[in-house]
Amino acid sequence: MPKVAIRFTLNGSEAAEFVESGTTLLGALRDKLGETSVKGGCLQGTCGACSVIIDGALKLSCLTLAESCQDARIETVAALARGGLLHPLQRAFVETFATQCGFCTSGMLMAAKALLDHNATPSREDVIEAISGNICRCTGYEPIIQAILAASRAATSTAA
């Protein structure tokens, strides 16, 4: 199988690897770069567990080819906390019991971050729409919706 060189920025640091052509970004992140904060739930683009942010846009890493990410900026949940401080979304997820088994959490947080990055004061409907591609089998979604709304309020009040 021919190998291709890939190089991109992962959570602010340069990452380079050789992968088999056709390797998904999910496979490259987890198996080659040890970035196991990204989860694979269905490998067919239906569950959202593998969501990452590529050049500012929310993407499914299981449907993205690693070789299509040359020179891209890739963010995973591992980069949300800065200098030991949790991101407001992370704090809100802890405080509102928005995590249960934890398997969807990484992707859910990425979907929420992509939303807040583009819309600091989302409505409840905006939040529901933003996480509609992410399946959670434990919480029933309501604590997650509440967490994202709480994080947006916290961030807005800090800014003001």
SS3 54: strand
Toward another protein, which CB reaches closer, 117 or 123? 117
CB atoms within 10 A of CB 67: 16
Is residue 81 within 8 Å of residue 12, measured between CB atoms? no
- Pairing verdict, β 51-54 and 57-60: antiparallel
- The site for another protein, by CB under 8 A, has a size of 39
Binding mask 80-119 for another protein (x = CB under 8 A): xx----x--xx--xxx-x-x-xxxxxx--x----------
Q: Which two tokens stand for residue 20?
A: 């088999």
| Calpha distance 158→95 (Å, rounded) | 18
Report 17-56 residues binding another protein (CB under 8 A): 30-31, 34, 36-44, 46-47, 49
Toward another protein, which CB reaches closer, 82 or 125? 82
Of 10, 29, 60, 77, the one binding another protein by CB under 8 A: 77
Taking the alpha carbons at both ends of the chain, their separation in whole angstroms is: 55
Q: List interacting residues with another protein (CB under 8 A).
A: 30-31, 34, 36-44, 46-47, 49, 76-78, 80-81, 86, 89-90, 93-95, 97, 99, 101-106, 109, 135-138
